[in-house]
Each structure stands twice: as structure tokens, then as C-alpha cells.
């Protein structure tokens, strides 16, 4: 407001100067008027600096909050959310769309308010000078409003299409960079480059279409401004000659009309910003307004004193959209401190059981209990802190080995990290790395072998000192010798906590207190290794097939 007030005062001072000089000219007058104009310039510059620094600064702070909120919201979403969306699309929303919203909150609002304030006050002063001249000067404005409305709607539609297409480009880039080994292994570099090039060509065409539309704004604004200036020069000059307005008023009127030129031009830019921001905000809101499918329920509690007893009561679970149940009528009781192994063919529901314990998928009420409390009644963070989980698909972050092992335990000391690596039979190999535990493993642990990644994940779980340890086929990529060494170390770790193991190897599960056999989501057998072998059922068949595979590999 102050910036515009000072800016609008300048032509009025100029009017006084010119009208004063037409009466009499003295050195004192010239000096005084010059000081006024210089003072207006200095004060206006200060206010303009404060205006930009405050409003643009606030928009950056809002962007900071929005970006953090958006990221935090993404981390609350379950696996099903990410199965329905591409990573590249989410990245596009978090970067390009977020920037478009920030432009509205900063430059868009600032220039929009300037346009409104300057336009209203300047027109009021022009009316004060000459209502008749103002009426003719503003004749082009209705055409301007029509142009802005017509072109603005088309800009919005085209920009939304461009943002969606950019998300597809981001998704393809992310997929190819993540799967670069597969692309190279199948010699698909040229084919993928061609696909990416085609997407980029389309992106250029869509942007060129928007640019052609957007480029109509400035010439249109310039033409309308020039038309108003011609009208003022002709009619205003006539009014000065007829002495209906003074020369100073004529100069001030032209100055105010010139001031309106930028708001008229900026109006198109502001409309464009708001159209882009609206399209981007709509894309952000579609994510932000998606409530987490799994969240803390009202009255959720922290776990009581940690013991680690697990009970599953008649659990039946089906994934959304699936044709059949993943688990049917499963009942398991695991006393605290016991070790239970779960085996079965691929797709039997073993990993699903672990994910329901962790509430990565929401189990039906009254089916999954930890220490006698339904897991749905726990606070999510408190529940998951009790588990040490090693999934089938190991994920490592692009940081050091020590950072990956200590993930979730930022206060871990070096000796604790080393001890966890020792349990995973990894410490000796890390010592041979150029920087030891400070070695950066690359994105998704690309510099490590499959077995090293699995052992890093085991060390990560052990370091948490969890009440319940969940190992989901986490030794599939290591050799038999290394497996035996890890199991010897893990046996000591598992003595003091509840442990659930999933494995296809008999050597991993044979010493468990109980072995549960799943087949097509149902428990078909349960008992010790020796008892199940004697029963000559599904488990015995799995053991026989595994022994046959080992004999074939040996031969």
C-alpha cells in the first residue's frame, strides 16, 4: 500500500511543479521541486524493496511448510497408495507443481494486489482531473477483460495438460534410472532413448502451443495501451488548448495512464500465474486430500511393557481388487521369546502375514494381537518400533554403510554398529572396503552384492534391539557357509526375543521351536522339523524337492 501510495504521489507532485512553473520560475522553486522528486524516488525505492522482500520471503516460507507437509503426508501413505501411482508423477508434483503454487503466493499475489490498488486509485485521480477524458481513455478496458477471460481459460487447460505430460516424462526417467541394469542387460538403450525422445518431442509441442497462446497477451495489452494513449493525446491536447484542464493536469493524467499500462500487461501475466497455480494446486490437493488408509485410531495407545507375545485369531485377508483371499482362517499363537518358522510355496501368504503384523496393510479387527492388544489399537509408530523387520526386497539408502545399518537408531555408537555387522557376518567384508563403514553404497546399494545388501538389512534390524524380529527370506542371496555363520550369531540374538522366520531353506528353519506350513493362504501343517518330516506331508515334500535341487546343483 505504501509503495503504491508513493508511486501515485509522484505524478501529482509533477502536476504541481509544471503548474507552478507556468506562473513563475525561481531557483528556490526548482530546487524544492527537485528535492521532492528525489525524496519520492528514495522513499518509493525503500518501500518497493520491503514489499518484495517481505512478500516473496513469506511465499518461500509457505513453500517450505507446504513441501515438508507434502513429504510428511507421502510417508503416511500405505503400500497400496504407491502401487496406484508412479514415483515420477509424485516427484513432478513435489517440484514443478510446488514451484507453480509458490509463484502464485509470492509474485502472483504481489503483482495482483499492485494491479488492483494502482488501477483503482489511478483511475480515481484521472476522474478527478477529467471525467470525460478518463471515459475515453478507458474505452479499451472491456475488450481487455474479454481477452483475459477467453485466453485465460485456454491457458489453464493447456498448462494442466503440460504438467500431466511432464509427470509422465519424470516417471519414465525415474524408471529407467532405477532399472538401468535391466535396460543394459536387454540392450534396450536405443529403444528407451527413442521413447524418451518421443515424450520430449510431445512436451515441446505442448509447450509451444501454450507459448503461442500466451504470446498473444503482450501484443494485445500493448495495442490496447497504445490506443488509449492516442485517444488521450488527441482529446487531452484539445482540452488543454481550450483551457478546460491545465498543462500540469494533462501531464499528470498521461503519467497515470502510463502507470496503468504495466498493470494492464501484468494482468495477463498474473492471470497466467494463477491459472498455472490453480492447475498445480489441484494436482497437489489430489494427493494431500487423500487420507492415509492406515492411521492412528482415536484413543490409540502405546504398547505396554514389551514382552513380544503374538497371537493371530482366525485371520482372513484379501488384497483390494484381488480375486481370492491371500490368507484364510489363519490362527497362530507365539509365546514371548519363542522362534517360529513359516514355510510354503511362493504366493502362500508368508510375507502378507508379516505386513499385517506391522500394519503395512490393515488387518481385520480382532485378528492380530501383540501382547494381548489388537494391533489396530496401538499407535503406529509405537507398534513398529517394537519390530526389527528384514523384508524380502532389501532397500538401502544412498549413504554410508554405517548410516544404513544405523537407520532408525541415529544415536547408535560405532561399537554398536560394528557389533550388529558382526552378527550379520559383514564386518570382515566391510574392513576390505576403501573407506570401511564410511563407504557410500550408492542408490539402492548398487555397489553391493545381493548377499551384502541382505546382511546390511539384517544388521539394521539387529541394531534396533527389537522385541520381535521378523526375517522374511533374508538369507536367500548368501551361500550356505555364510548362512550357517549368520544363523549361529542370530541364535544368540533370538534367544532373548520373539522371532518369526520365513525361508525356503530347510537349514534356516529346522531349529525353530515350531514350523508352520502355509499353502494357498491356509495352514496345512504345523510342528517341529522332525515331526513334520515324519508326517510325510507338504513340508516333507518341500524338503525332498530342496534336497533334489541341491543334488542337481552339486552334480
What's the CATH code, domain 396-465?
Answer: 3.40.50.300
* pLDDT value of residue 79: 77
527: alpha, beta or left, given left = phi > 0 and alpha = psi -120 to 50?
left
* pLDDT value of residue 33: 78
Q: Across all residues in the chain, what is the average pLDDT?
A: 83
Domain boundaries of the chain, sorted by first residue: 2-288, 310-386+466-554, 396-465
Q: How far apart are the first and last CA of the chain?
A: 87
Is residue 406 exposed (0-12), middle (13-18) or buried (19+ Cβ within 10 Å)?
A: buried
Give the C-alpha separation, 280 to 157, whole Å.
Answer: 11
What's the CATH code, domain 2-288?
Answer: 1.20.1560.10
* pLDDT value of residue 135: 85
Is residue 120 exposed (0-12), middle (13-18) or buried (19+ Cβ within 10 Å)?
A: exposed
Is the torsion defined by CA of 254, 260, 261, 262 positive or negative?
positive
**What is residue 293's three-state secondary structure?**
coil
487: alpha, beta or left, given left = phi > 0 and alpha = psi -120 to 50?
alpha
- Return the minimum-mean-pLDDT range out of 217-231, 234-248, 283-297: 217-231
**What is residue 475's three-state secondary structure?**
coil
Mean pLDDT for the stretch of residues 130-144:
79
Q: Do domains 2-288 and 396-465 have the same CATH topology?
A: no
Residue entry with cell 544368540 = 492
Report which secondary-structure segment, H or E, holds 472.
Answer: strand 468-472
pLDDT over 90 for what percent of the chain? 9
Span 310-386+466-554 CATH architecture: 3-Layer(aba) Sandwich (3.40)
pTM for the structure as a whole = 0.68
- Assess whether pLDDT exceeds 90 at residue 61: yes
- Assess whether pLDDT exceeds 90 at residue 46: yes
Please enumerate in sequence order all residues whose Cβ is within 8 A of that of 405, keeping only pairs 6 or more positions apart, or say none: 412, 417, 420, 421, 437, 456, 459, 460, 463
Amino acid at each position: 500500500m505504501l509503495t503504491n501510495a508513493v508511486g501515485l504521489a509522484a505524478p501529482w507532485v509533477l502536476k504541481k511543479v509544471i503548474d507552478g512553473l507556468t506562473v513563475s520560475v525561481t531557483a528556490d522553486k526548482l530546487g524544492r521541486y527537485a528535492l521532492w522528486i528525489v525524496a519520492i524516488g528514495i522513499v518509493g525505492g525503500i518501500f518497493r524493496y520491503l514489499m518484495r522482500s517481505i512478500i516473496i520471503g513469506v511465499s518461500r516460507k509457505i513453500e517450505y511448510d507446504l513441501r515438508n507437509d507434502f513429504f510428511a503426508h507421502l510417508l503416511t501413505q500405505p503400500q497400496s497408495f504407491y502401487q496406484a501411482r508412479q514415483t515420477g508423477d509424485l516427484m513432478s508434483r513435489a517440484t514443478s507443481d510446488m514451484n507453480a503454487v509458490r509463484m502464485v503466493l509470492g509474485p502472483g499475489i504481489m503483482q495482483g494486489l499492485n494491479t488492483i490498488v494502482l488501477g483503482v486509485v489511478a483511475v480515481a485521480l484521472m476522474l478527478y482531473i477529467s471525467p470525460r477524458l478518463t471515459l475515453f481513455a478507458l474505452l479499451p478496458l472491456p475488450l481487455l477483460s474479454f481477452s483475459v477471460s477467453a485466453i485465460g481459460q485456454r491457458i489453464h487447460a493447456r498448462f494442466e495438460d503440460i504438467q500431466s505430460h511432464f509427470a509422465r516424462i519424470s516417471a519414465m526417467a525415474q524408471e529407467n534410472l532405477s532399472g538401468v541394469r535391466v535396460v543394459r542387460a536387454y540392450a534396450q538403450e536405443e529403444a528407451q532413448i527413442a521413447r524418451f525422445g518421443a515424450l520430449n518431442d510431445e512436451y515441446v509441442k505442448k509447450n509451444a502451443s501454450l507459448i503461442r497462446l500466451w504470446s498473444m497477451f503482450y501484443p494485445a495489452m500493448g495495442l490496447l495501451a497504445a490506443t488509449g494513449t492516442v485517444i488521450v493525446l488527441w482529446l487531452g491536447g484539445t482540452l488543454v488548448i481550450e483551457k478546460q484542464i491545465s498543462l500540469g493536469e494533462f501531464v499528470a493524467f498521461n503519467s497515470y495512464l502510463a502507470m496503468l499500462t504495466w498493470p494492464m500487461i501484468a494482468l495477463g501475466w498474473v492471470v497466467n500465474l494463477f491459472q498455472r497455480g490453480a492447475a498445480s494446486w489441484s494436482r497437489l490437493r489430489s494427493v494431500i486430500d487423500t487420507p492415509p488408509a492406515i492411521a492412528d485410531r482415536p484413543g490409540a495407545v502405546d504398547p505396554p511393557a514389551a514382552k513380544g507375545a503374538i497371537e493371530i485369531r482366525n485371520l482372513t485377508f484379501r488384497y483390494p481388487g484381488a480375486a481370492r483371499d491371500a490368507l484364510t482362517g489363519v490362527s497362530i499363537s507365539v509365546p514371548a521369546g519363542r522362534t517360529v518358522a513359516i514355510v510354503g510355496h511362493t504366493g502362500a501368504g508368508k510375507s502378507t502375514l508379516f505386513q499385517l503384523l506391522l500394519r503395512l496393510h490393515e488387518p481385520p479387527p480382532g485378528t492380530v494381537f501383540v501382547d494381548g492388544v489388537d494391533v489396530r489399537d496401538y499407535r503406529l509408530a509405537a507398534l513398529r518400533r517394537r519390530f526389527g523387520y528384514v523384508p524380502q526386497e532389501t532397500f538401502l539408502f544412498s549413504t554410508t554403510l554405517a548410516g544404513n545399518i544405523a537407520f532408525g537408531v541415529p544415536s547408535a555408537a560405532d561399537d554398536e554398529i560394528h557389533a550388529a555387522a558382526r552378527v550379520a557376518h559383514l564386518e570382515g567384508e566391510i574392513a576390505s572396503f576403501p573407506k570401511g563403514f564410511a563407504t557410500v553404497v550408492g542408490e539402492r546399494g548398487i555397489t553391493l552384492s545381493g548377499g551384502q545388501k541382505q546382511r546390511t538389512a539384517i544388521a539394521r534390524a539387529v541394531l534396533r534391539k527389537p522385541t520381535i524380529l521378523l526375517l522374511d527370506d533374508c538369507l536367500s542371496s548368501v551361500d550356505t557357509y555364510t548362512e550357517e555363520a549368520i544363523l549361529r550369531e542370530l541364535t544368540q540374538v533370538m534367544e532373548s526375543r520373539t522371532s518369526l522366520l520365513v525361508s525356503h531353506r530347510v537349514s534356516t528353519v529346522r531349529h525353530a521351536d515350531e514350523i508352520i506350513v502355509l499353502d494357498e493362504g491356509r495352514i496345512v501343517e504345523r510342528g517341529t522339523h522332525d515331526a513334520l518330516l515324519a508326517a510325510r506331508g507338504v513340508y516333507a515334500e518341500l524338503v525332498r524337492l530342496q534336497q533334489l535341487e541341491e543334488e542337481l546343483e552339486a552334480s
